[in-house]
Amino acid sequence: MSGALERLHGLDSDLSGVTALVAGLGVSGFAAADALLERGARVRVVDDRAPAEGTPAAERAHLLDVFGAELVVGGDPDPDALVRTDRGAVDLVVASPGWRPTHPVLRAADGTGAAVWGEVELAWRLQGGDAGPPWLTVTGTNGKTTTVELLGAVLTAAGLRARTAGNIGTPLVDAVRDPAGADVLAVELSSFQLHLVRTVSPHAATCLNLAPDHLDWHGGPDAYRDAKARVYERTKVAAVFNVADPATEAMVREADVVEGCRAVGVGPGAPRVGEVGVVEGLLVDRAFIEERAHAAVELGALDDLVGLAGVADPAQVPAHVVANALAAAALARSLGVPATAVRDGLRAASLPPHRAATVATAGGVRWVDDSKATNPHAADASLAALDDVVWVAGGLAKGATYDDLVARHAARLRAVVLVGADRELVAQALGRHAPDVPVVRVDPPDTAGVAAPDDERARALMDRVVAAAAGLARPGSTVLLAPAAASMDQFTSYVARGEAFAAAVLRLTGPGQRP
């Protein structure tokens, strides 16, 4: 790392003399470039695609041009030339999460000796590391956003100025630069972001679960697992793991944590010493109390989660909702949050959109939007909570396979409606493990990125999906959009996919059927 770059330690850092390349014109790339320019760095911003006129990306490009960045967008420039300036090699490359490590520009940067960070690492250094607010970091194949939302609600109930940031939406660079400040940051981290973390030292951290995902990006399950495990590196107080997922405990055992950091297990059963769990419908803590060898403190109850889970009976709260609540509680307790704040925060919280949300109930058929189920592990949780399902599935598989998922839930399936580019992977698994389940394919399988849920193509596609599902459902059935795949073959995001589905359902059932 260059001497000039070593001056980056806090918001008042002077980066004049630093040359930086920001790879990607997304939200996090814009935040990184803006922060570097603000501190006097020379910044070049590179993106493979030129932004379309009138889009948010075009607006970001215009602003960076005004701020003095050099923009290189679209075309096919020489990667080696991009990582060099008239002063020699750039000092720093900040890679947006969507850029694979094998991208030619990042490979070229590796050969120059430049520091290669992600926006998360830049944010940690901008806040001066431990000089800024503590970070409570959350990763996992599924449940990250829900857990961070729950954590934010609990921290707020404790009277803390809490910010949720990272993969949840707000770039961490913007969070640490916020003039309003914060007492603590609840941070969602994807495997892409963790891949480029170098010095982040969280107060407490958790990996909620591990299942194959993003194998196309990482190159295989071992690299994906290793990226997730980085969440625990340099953790100071509590490394929280899922007792029901041995892979997460193994990550904690292998992590290089700060001396004195404790391993804290969370799970749905009665907790052992040093764990947070459930006893007779109560969420209890045997990890963060002095008398934990012989006693436990009540943090809340399954009753407090019924609103979050959208059920009437505490016994029906899905296991993954309980697991997310326990993880959020443990992270908050590591910071000294009182037990009453955990209860109040869980009661006040609500699920983010497109996570097992009931869209409508009509003619005895329930329509559920779980568009956020972008991999088989997430779809497994949705399917496990239901019987008599018309399953809407398919999209971009990202290297996933579907045999285990289909075999586990074949008896629940009334029928399946398949969409998306990799739908035949699901169809083949159905043929092997549920050959008697009716399957309907809805065309086209690829719409080259529908821009918005009200786009004509999106509307037509989802109207066909909903019509097919309605023809297969019977009173007592649930039509479940849980694609077990990413959305970018047909939609710009899982949000756009879920909104298009919900709009089509309401066109069919009528707005008066909203739950």
- Confirm whether residue 140 is marked as ligand binding: yes
How far apart are alpha carbons 265 and 239 in whole angstroms? Answer: 8
Extract the runs of DSSP E, i.e. beta strands, from 337-395.
Answer: 357-362, 365-369, 389-393
Residue 480 region, left (φ>0) first, then alpha (ψ -120 to 50), else beta?
Answer: beta
Give the sign of the dihedral formed by CA 271, CA 276, CA 279, CA 284. Answer: positive
Contacting residues for 138 by C-beta, under 8 A, at least 6 apart: 144, 147, 148, 151, 186, 187, 188, 189, 205, 206, 208, 231, 327, 331
Where does residue 49 rank: exposed (0-12), middle (13-18), buried (19+ CB within 10 A)? exposed
3-state secondary structure of 437: coil
DSSP-derived secondary structure letter, 263: E
Beta bridge partners of 163: 185
- 444 prior amide bond cis, ω within 30: yes
- Confirm whether residue 143 is marked as ligand binding: yes
Query: Would you say 282 and 297 are in contact if contact means Cβ atoms under 8 Å apart?
Result: no
Q: What is the dihedral of CA 220, 221, 227, 229, to 10 degrees?
A: -160
How far apart are alpha carbons 118 and 116 in whole angstroms? Answer: 7
Query: Would you say 276 and 285 are in contact if contact means Cβ atoms under 8 Å apart?
Result: yes
- Confirm whether residue 141 is marked as ligand binding: yes
Neighbours of 507 (CB within 10 A): 14
How far apart are alpha carbons 119 and 187 in whole angstroms? Answer: 13
Tokens of 238: 């509590």
- Confirm whether residue 144 is marked as ligand binding: yes
3-state secondary structure of 309: helix
How far apart are alpha carbons 342 and 196 in whole angstroms? Answer: 32
The 3-class secondary structure across 36-90, one letter per residue, is HHHCCCEEEEEECCCCCCCCHHHHHHHHHHHHCCEEEECCCCCHHHHCEECCEEC
Tokens of 96: 């947006």
How far apart are alpha carbons 271 and 281 in whole angstroms? Answer: 13
The residue among 376, 62, 357, 327 whose CA lies nearest residue 215 is 376
- Confirm whether residue 146 is marked as ligand binding: yes
Which residue ranges are tagged as binding site for ATP? 140-146
Which residue ranges are tagged as binding site? 140-146
